[in-house]
């Protein structure tokens, strides 16, 4: 009988990063479609060549002129050093700063197929990220394939940090899909709720209210965790774990906005029936005995392999 791990190991990987378009392109049948596709491809290539560099220059300017409150980097670096990988869960609303804001870690993440996905991919690659292609709630078979690829990649490589926008590329906003928790469960790594938020920003009228940071403000980067999902969890137990992770990310989003932007109105699109449960000064609520602890972890947790005697010898 084939196990889940064996299926993951034997699953053929699809094209990744900006190579996706070259390896999956199809030749249109009619001349009109070929001309239209050629013009579109040229414009996209121009944008892909120019926009990512403008993006990096703009983010550098924003970071240089802003007060950065980094409550994230040390926490996540320690998690990676201890558990040889982790999953960072965030909302699609902050997708603009994912490449630059988390690039120093650096992240492995997921981008959709299509022209916009290619543009995001080049931004991520320019900032040092590794990108899987295929994330889309409208292409479920493709999403399943790329999920298997990402699981296998983490199982076979050390120090993999996944940053995943958990409400997907189409929403609904602030509703967590299961991909990130599935990876954490299967690979036996901790999950963290993360948030990068800006006091000065523009929120676009999109489904996720995509936020663009403006200079001369404050930027807070926060990570709360770890959270664990038992690899032997039943389906009801897994659903409860996902619900808890969603609530914790909502809590972090609510608290960060309230503390960083106390005079601003509540976030648009945020669940109206949300009720904060975190205690003042002690963010995070446990779902398992090991949650929110850096000193204890489950016996099945993935850990950094011990140094061999040969490697340790002078």
In this prediction, residue 19 carries a pLDDT of 67
The model's pTM is 0.85
Of the two residues 287 and 42, the one the predictor is more confident about is 287
**What's the confidence (pLDDT) of residue 2?**
44
Q: Which of 23-27, 190-194, 229-233 has the lowest mean pLDDT?
A: 23-27
Helix axes 179-187, 140-156, angle to 10 degrees: 30
Residue 139 confidence (pLDDT): 54
Q: 97-106, 131-140, 263-272: which range is least confident on average?
A: 131-140
Please answer whether residues 237 and 250 qualify as being in contact, where contact means their C-beta atoms are separated by less than 8 angstroms: no
Q: What is the pLDDT of residue 29?
A: 63
Which of the four pLDDT bands, split at 50, 70 and 90, describes residue 260?
A: very high
Report domain extents, the chain: 30-304
- Bigger pLDDT: 142 or 255? 255
CATH of segment(s) 30-304: 3.40.1130
CA dist 248 → 8, 26, 109, 162, 282 (Å):
29, 43, 21, 18, 13
Does the pLDDT value for residue 274 go beyond 70? yes
> Between these two residues, 142 and 90, which has the higher pLDDT value?
90
Tell whether the model's pLDDT for residue 66 goes beyond 80.
yes
Specify whether the CB–CB gap between 287 and 227 falls below 8 A. yes
CA–CA dist 14, 142 (Å, integer): 10
State the chain's mean pLDDT as an integer. Answer: 87
- Pairwise pLDDT comparison (95 vs 118), residue with the higher score: 95
- For the cut 70, the answer to whether the pLDDT of residue 120 exceeds it is yes
Task: Tell me the backbone φ, ψ of residue 233, rounded to 5 degrees.
Answer: -60, 140
- pLDDT of residue 150 exceeding 70, the answer is yes
Q: How confident is the model at residue 117 (pLDDT cuts 50, 70, 90)?
A: confident
Instruction: Evaluate whether 250 touches 225 at the Cβ level (below 8 Å).
Output: no
Whether the predicted pLDDT of 253 surpasses 50: yes
The pLDDT-based confidence of 33 (bands split at 50, 70, 90) is confident
Whether 179 has a pLDDT exceeding 70, the answer reads yes
Given this model, what pLDDT does residue 20 score?
A: 61
DSSP per residue, 204-255: -SSTT--EEE-SSSEEEEEEEEEE---TT--HHHHHHHHHHHHHHHHHHHHH
Convert the pLDDT of each residue in 296-314 to its tens digit.
999 999 999 887 544 444 4
């Amino acid at each position: 009988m084939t196990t889940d791990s064996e299926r993951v190991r034997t699953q053929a990987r699809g094209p990744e990063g900006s190579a996706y378009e070259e390896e999956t392109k199809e030749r249109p049948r009619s001349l009109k479609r070929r001309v239209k596709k050629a013009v579109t491809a040229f414009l996209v290539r121009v944008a892909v060549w120019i926009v990512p560099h403008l993006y990096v220059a703009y983010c550098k300017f924003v970071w240089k002129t802003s007060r950065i409150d980094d409550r994230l980097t040390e926490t996540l670096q320690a998690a990676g050093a201890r558990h040889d990988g982790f999953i960072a869960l965030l909302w699609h609303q902050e997708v603009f700063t994912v490449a630059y804001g988390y690039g120093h870690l650096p992240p492995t993440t997921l981008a959709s197929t299509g022209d916009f996905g290619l543009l995001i991919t080049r931004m991520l690659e320019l900032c040092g990220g590794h990108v899987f292609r295929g994330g889309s709630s409208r292409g479920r078979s493709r999403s399943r394939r790329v999920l298997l690829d990402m699981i296998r990649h983490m199982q076979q490589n050390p120090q993999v940090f996944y940053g995943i926008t958990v409400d997907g590329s189409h929403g609904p906003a602030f509703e967590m899909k299961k991909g990130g928790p599935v990876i954490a469960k299967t690979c036996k790594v901790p999950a963290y709720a993360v948030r990068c938020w800006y006091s000065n920003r523009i929120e676009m009228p999109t489904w996720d209210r995509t936020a663009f940071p403006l200079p001369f403000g404050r930027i807070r980067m926060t990570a709360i965790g770890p959270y664990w999902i038992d690899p032997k969890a039943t389906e009801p137990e897994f659903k409860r774990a996902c619900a808890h992770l969603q609530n914790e990310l909502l809590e972090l989003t609510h608290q960060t906005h309230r503390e960083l932007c106390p005079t601003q109105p509540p976030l648009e699109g945020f669940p109206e029936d949300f009720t904060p449960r975190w205690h003042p000064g002690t963010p995070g609520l446990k779902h398992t005995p090991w949650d929110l602890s850096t000193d204890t972890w489950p016996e099945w947790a993935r850990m950094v392999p011990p140094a061999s005697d040969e490697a340790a010898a002078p």
